[in-house]
């Protein structure tokens, strides 16, 4: 049975990916900060699919904890076939010169540094075994800046470049690297961005049918289930009435 490790798995795209891989016979290592949500999800997946699930409740920004928890995995859980670097967030929507320093730090530490940390502790073992797939959840925001989102866009541009660089670095191995770049996806993403302001978050999706977590999980699974000689390097996934990170037609 193959093993997938998903960060940020307690809700949204991460939770949807967990369900998708469970449906297809994988066993799961699930990470998020909220242990209660992970336990609930693991129980549901066990009931629905009989999926063996190991939960790792910790903050991926804590490098020492990431190292310790991954290095202390039970022996029979150490061979990770697919890594889904999903943990990430946007905070605030202000002009760059008016941004909040704490929001900047959280986005950079989570979207870039934590992704690097998890990759650093998982990929060397994949290289040793000669198999593995790293799937990073980027964003259309990484293709071009949009108004009041410069720092978030910069972090997702970093995800693209880091994915491309890793793909180069493992090109002499059978490993595959994929960058999935969603557009508007209705999850708790905007609620987090606006620090819990649900009304403001809901306005993001008014007048358009956005994507949902299952749509992105389908794309992740498509990449993961491709034949071993096929590497889906990058996938841009937009709602039908979204043309780019900043161009959206609303009814």
From 37, 49, 95, 156, the catalytic residue: 156
Backbone phi, psi, residue 85, to 5°: -80, 90
97 included as an active-site residue: no
198 included as an active-site residue: no
30 and 41 in contact (C-beta within 8 Å)? yes
From 49, 113, 146, 152, the catalytic residue: 152
237 and 223 in contact (C-beta within 8 Å)? no
Rounded to whole angstroms, the maximal C-alpha distance in the chain is 54
Nearest-angstrom CA–CA distance, 249 and 203 = 14
Q: Which residues are catalytic?
A: 152, 156
């Amino acid at each position: 049975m193959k093993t997938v490790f998903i960060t940020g798995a307690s809700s949204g795209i991460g939770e949807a990916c967990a369900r998708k891989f469970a449906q297809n016979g994988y066993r799961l290592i699930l990470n998020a900060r909220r242990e209660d949500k992970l336990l609930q999800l693991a129980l549901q997946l066990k009931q629905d699919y009989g999926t063996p699930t190991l939960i790792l409740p910790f903050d991926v920004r804590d490098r020492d904890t990431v190292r310790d928890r991954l290095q202390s995995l039970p022996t029979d859980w150490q061979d990770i076939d697919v890594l889904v670097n999903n943990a990430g967030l946007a905070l605030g929507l202000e002009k760059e010169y008016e941004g909040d320093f704490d929001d900047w730090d959280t986005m950079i530490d989570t979207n870039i540094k934590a992704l690097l940390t998890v990759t650093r502790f998982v990929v060397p073992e994949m290289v040793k075994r000669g198999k593995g797939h790293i799937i990073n959840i980027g964003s259309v925001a990484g293709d071009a800046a949009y108004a009041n989102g410069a720092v978030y866009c910069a972090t997702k541009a970093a995800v693209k470049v880091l994915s491309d660089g890793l793909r180069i670095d493992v090109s002499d191995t059978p490993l595959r690297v994929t960058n999935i770049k969603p557009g508007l996806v209705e999850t708790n993403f905007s609620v987090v961005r606006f620090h819990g302001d649900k009304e403001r978050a809901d306005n993001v999706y008014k007048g358009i049918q956005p994507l949902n977590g299952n749509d992105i999980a389908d794309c992740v699974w498509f990449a993961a289930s491709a034949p071993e000689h096929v590497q889906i390097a990058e996938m841009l996934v937009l709602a039908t009435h979204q043309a780019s990170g900043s161009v959206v037609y609303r009814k």
